[in-house]
Structure 1
Amino acid sequence: MSNNTKENKDCQLHKFEKNKYFYGKLMTVRDFETEQSYFDEKRHLINRLLNGSGLICGFEQIQIKTAADGNLNMLFIDGGAALDCCGREIVVPPNTEEKILNSSGSSVSNLTGTPYLYLKYKACYDGYVASASNPSSCAEKCCPGKTVESFEVIASDKAPELKELECRLEFTPLKDVTVWLEDLEKDHRICPSCADKERVFLATVKDENGIYSVDSEDTAKNRIFFTQKELYQLFKCHILDINNPHAVTAVQTGALVSVDGVGNAGGDVDLVPEGSIVITPDDTNDRITIGENHSAKKDNPHQVTAIQTGALVSIDGVSNPGGNVDLIAGSNVSITPNPSTHTIEIASTGGGGEPATTVQSVGTSLIVGTSDRYSREDHVHNLGRGVVDIENLSEKLQKQLELLFMYLRERALKCTVSNFKAIGIQFNNDIAFKIAQNTKDAVNNKVYQKEEDFMEFMKELLELMMAFADNIQGRSTDESFRNFLNALEELKEALGSEDALRVAIQQDEVCFYVSELEIRG
């Protein structure tokens, strides 16, 4: 009997003895992990639905440093604690130094264009020990014995999305507060999610000639942690409301006793108008308007004369003080007054003769000629300078061009799906498979139909493709990798131009060079 056969029989006997004397499943690493995960997720659920997200405490003393390798690190002098929108705790011990990463997970050496820093929860496995791989096997494998809860510092160009408090400036206390609370109840009928927002705002960075520091003023505006957010909002808005939310009356506060020494306890004080002063009470709005009617008079109350103002005295020596000056039309002159527009039109009737039926025009060669079509001499159609806008083309031609552009965007996405799927198989790379799947979803959702949707997706796709390039660097041949990386850089430049047609063409170029990638021998 070989040793292998003996070991197999011993293993089978071992299994038999376990099944003979023990009923039920044996506990494995996975069972203990499930137990721990259950309580962790329960705690995260309560944090997410009740406590909110943001910085809880600390993070007042943070510095940006340049490491020995030239990349930027974040130094947390006082440390701190935070909750992300998934309810997970992020705890940073004092005097912790951590790399600053971009959204693709790579270290950064400058923060130009990405002035916002975020904390992101990160779990790492540690304490690997040998253990049975499953209850029915004698084989062992290395399994993590503990999970270390850590974090990452992410630089981004996206500003924080914290919503400012929306306090009502005018309100009827009972009615508006009731409606407010009803709206809050409706908002909480659907549990909030945390998809694609698993980051906590940390700080805004200011750049002073390449020296980075925390912008305290902008950071303070966004560092808000909401505990029972709606209750906090209700109380703060109530404190800030200066519109008498409790409908307190003057009698309750012992308000107005007299006006200029004249009082009438429990009654009204009458205001008496005189001369051009007008007093208008408004019981509906509880106010009194004191105005004047002198400025509205248009009957020259001060008897101002034309001489005093230097006004018109005569026309061509003819005057009529206090009246009008008449204009008389001649035999070939017509005079048409228009009081509604305050204009007088004086025109000549000519002296006979018919209007021209043959007029001068300008041809495409800029030579004056004749035409039986009426046009000015300076009216030129010059189509030879390449200035025709698409809006000036026929509707049919516009639609044909739109279909052509949409086809190019669709083709760029479809070639991305097929080529990255193939290269994912060749390099056994998960990022390439993710690129292919995300792009396939985009094709299914027809993001290529609208330029703005296509451009937004391509910006996200570029980050994934750059991450893929970082991942395969060193595994592919130098020339094929260099050509692929150059294509990505040209795509980034095309995205900066905001030209969707140029982006589609360049993405087609990326598809070609990704298919040319070769594994280093």
Structure 2
Amino acid sequence: MTTKMRERALEQFEKNRFFQGKLMTPRDMQVEQEYHAERLHTLARYTMGTGIVRGLEVRDVQETQEELTVTVAPGLAIDGYGRPIVVETETSKSVPVPTNDEIYLFARHAEVSTESVPVPDADGVAGDEQTPNRAIEVFELTYQETEPEPGEPTPELELELDEDSRDPFHEIAAAYHEQYREEPRSESDPAVFVGAFERGSDGGWQPTETAVKRPLVYDTEMLFRAFASHLADTDNPHGVTVDPEPRDVPVDLDDIEGFERKLQFLQAELHELKEDRDTLNRYLMRKSLKDKERFFRDVADRFEEHSDEVSRVAQEIVTAATEGIAANAYDQPEIYREHVRELLDAEIRLGETLEGTATEDTLDGYVRAVSQLQNRLEDEASILDVAVAQDNVCEAADSLEELYDIVPDT
């Protein structure tokens, strides 16, 4: 994919036109390759998305004095340009030893040249100059020591279906296109119907409804968003009503075995959902402690020249967070809850000592976040809500800004 194409979201494709006697040069061959590659990359970006398709787990990380050796499982991914990243077999790559205790690994698309061959001169005689004859698409392993920016969250698809609609699938697709398709898409021949218009009373042309609907692409991203929005709706999305008194329903004894199989399946599904929930809770609890350690350490460093007390309280929070991580407080929800409750007083005191030291708007944001965390603890909210509230406090602490017109403590 060329740099020119990367700078624009969409670009028309250019290809060779062949004719009798055409002189084929390396440029023509390059255009031919780019034509096919850019078409595939564009389709992958807009219909499949970016990320891991399968595999690519990091199986091992070994450190030596000079480098880290990272072993990656075979797999497939699609990068931000729509290019496939293929790892054929379990592969080990080396990267420099980081300076911090956390790294975030990335697989990047790359090319390596191979098969060096001599370059013929004008007379067709091979000279001393060598050039690669092939290029292999491979991957590079890189890392950064700061947490990557979170990806765009999956938005909720606002959808109101007409109960009498004869084509609900088209209504779902149309709602998705209206909310998330900011640019129109054009297709190749044959022509695609794009809408109907009628002349209004003022002589202008206005869109009108017709029996023929515009053809819309039902891509996987749209289907996922619709599916995720439905799963996340816990407020009885289908409007199911339950009779207050159970009705007497005749049961066919021959169906009991089928009911038992369904019950076993549902029990297995419930067990899997509980495991997924526990995994998510553990991840969020650990993340909130790591964020607390990192963000409040930054607060202690940034405010040290302005207020010794602010720096001291922030460092107190850092020390407690470090101890909580070392003790694996995130492994047990109740231990984590108690750890957060014990640190709440220090977080409140930090807000009080920040008065006159931090800007008013950033301090207000921090105080609100701490107050929300306090409410979650007092209400005995779920551990997920507590972890999210604690993480919000960390983010608010990271957003704190110093007042530079104050007199530092002496």
Range class of TM-score, shorter chain? 0.3 to 0.5
Larger Rg: 1
Task: Provide the TM-score with structure 1 as the length reference.
Answer: 0.31
Task: Provide the TM-score with structure 2 as the length reference.
Answer: 0.39
Higher helix share: 2
